[in-house]
A and B are shown apart, each in its own frame.
Chain A
Amino acid sequence: MNKDDEAFDAAMRQNLRSLPVPEGEEISMPRRDFLRFGVAAGIATIGVTGWTGWQYQQTPTIVQQAFAHVHEESGLRGALVSDAGLRAMLGMASAKPFPGAVQLCKSCVIGGHAAWHLNTYLDNLGVVQVLAFKASLPDAAGDGHWFGHSWRLLSLANRHGASSTPEHNSACAGRFPHPNPLPEGEGTNESLRDFHCNGSKVLLLGGNVAALNKVSASIFSIT
């Protein structure tokens, strides 16, 4: 490299290195990914916890217990009950057909309350669980959602206009004789009678409101 080259390089070097750099301009450190992830996870946790708490707060205990019960019995299937048979059992031969295909019909205990547990499969709407409680419940009627499922608690008027006395129950038993053959165990008959004779609560659980509407319309038509 000759002297001219060296001088040229020196001049170029000096001029490029004297290009002004703006002062005071901050180069910010990128936020750490795990920090962002942590913040997002924290917000998500708070959101999910809050939403879960809100769901529990808004949903009556008996409904929560019913969902747990249905979950436990989710694998249970009974013999299909024909519509005519079911209506005969319910003493509603003239009422409109009970919707769907009834798959399960048994006596259960939910949160310490005896109930008649029935489920029916509706085309395109899925399974609706019908829980008819023998005794009246302290929870008021209402409806809502529980982790993606719908529920509706119905108060059925006593169709006989009388309180649930032993005499009244006896009269009901006479009016609604035990179905023969029994769908599922002895307790079912008792529940079926209670369902008609007592002013009780019926809880419907299903995947969507439309399914509940369909079943509740049918239930009100027989009460």
Chain B
Amino acid sequence: MFNRDKKIFDDWVRTYRSFLYRAAWALTRERGAAQDIVQETFTLAWRARKQLREEVTVQAWLYRILRREAFRSLRQQEPWVEWDDEVCGEVAGTPDMIDLRIDLLDALQSVTPLHREMLVLYYLADMSYEELALAVEVPVGTVMSRLNRARSALRNVMMEGELQ
């Protein structure tokens, strides 16, 4: 029984850890917080695994838990954290790619948290609108309109950055 549980848990971690970590990072802008959030997400999810219903995918369900933790962390977080160094120091890639990532992460912080999470989910996870709706617990129509506005907002922010 323990081995079976351990296998399921390990499968969850192996499959969704990267997605959750990146989502938490993009949502909170802080890598340390992202690590804590991901650990907490897996802990809470595992303890509440019996509440996982068939109509919700594991990924959407894990994200539901993560977003609550992330928003809780955002409320406690310092309003502005310098983080260029920590990203630049560890991210592989050309300087242009690194700059683009930093711009993107900065731009994500410029949109509202609800738009931000919609973009994070849209770009990070291959979820259908229905899955997105389940993940953020809103109707499908809301997801579509919110995603549309979020993309426009992000694009505007990125373009303003390029012009400056």
Apart from A15-B104, A19-B25, A19-B26: 9 A-B pairs, beta carbons within 8 A = A9-B151, A12-B104, A12-B123, A16-B22, A17-B123, A18-B91, A27-B38, A29-B42, A30-B42
Cβ contacts A to B, 21 pairs, < 8 Å: A9-B123, A9-B151, A16-B22, A16-B26, A16-B120, A17-B124, A18-B93, A19-B25, A19-B26, A19-B105, A20-B91, A21-B21, A21-B22, A22-B21, A27-B38, A27-B42, A28-B39, A29-B5, A30-B47, A32-B5, A33-B47
User: Is A56 on the interface with B (CB-CB < 8 A)?
Assistant: no
Distance (whole angstroms) from the CB of A101 to the closest CB of chain B: 58
Interface residues of B in 1-36 (CB under 8 A from A): 2, 5-6, 9-10, 13, 17-18, 21-22, 25-26, 31, 35
User: Is A220 on the interface with B (CB-CB < 8 A)?
Assistant: no
Tell me which residues across on chain A come within 8 A of B46, comparing CB atoms: 29-30
Residues of chain B at the chain A interface (Cβ within 8 Å): 2, 5-6, 9-10, 13, 17-18, 21-22, 25-26, 31, 35, 38-39, 42-43, 46-47, 90-93, 97, 100-101, 104-105, 119-120, 123-124, 151, 154-155, 158
Tell me the complex Cα distance, A77–B141, Å: 80
Tell me which residues across on chain B come within 8 A of A30, comparing CB atoms: 42-43, 46-47
Contact present for A29 and B25 (CB under 8 Å): no
Tell me the complex Cα distance, A21–B47, Å: 24
Contact present for B155 and A8 (CB under 8 Å): yes
Name the CB-closest residue of B to A27.
Answer: B13
Tell me the complex Cα distance, A2–B90, Å: 35
Contact present for A12 and B154 (CB under 8 Å): yes
Interchain CB contact (< 8 A) of A19 among B9, B13, B38, B91: B91
Distance (whole angstroms) from the CB of A23 to the closest CB of chain B: 10
Pairs of residues from A and B, 10 with the lowest C-beta to C-beta distance, nearest first: A13-B123, A30-B43, A16-B123, A19-B22, A21-B18, A29-B9, A27-B13, A15-B104, A21-B21, A12-B123
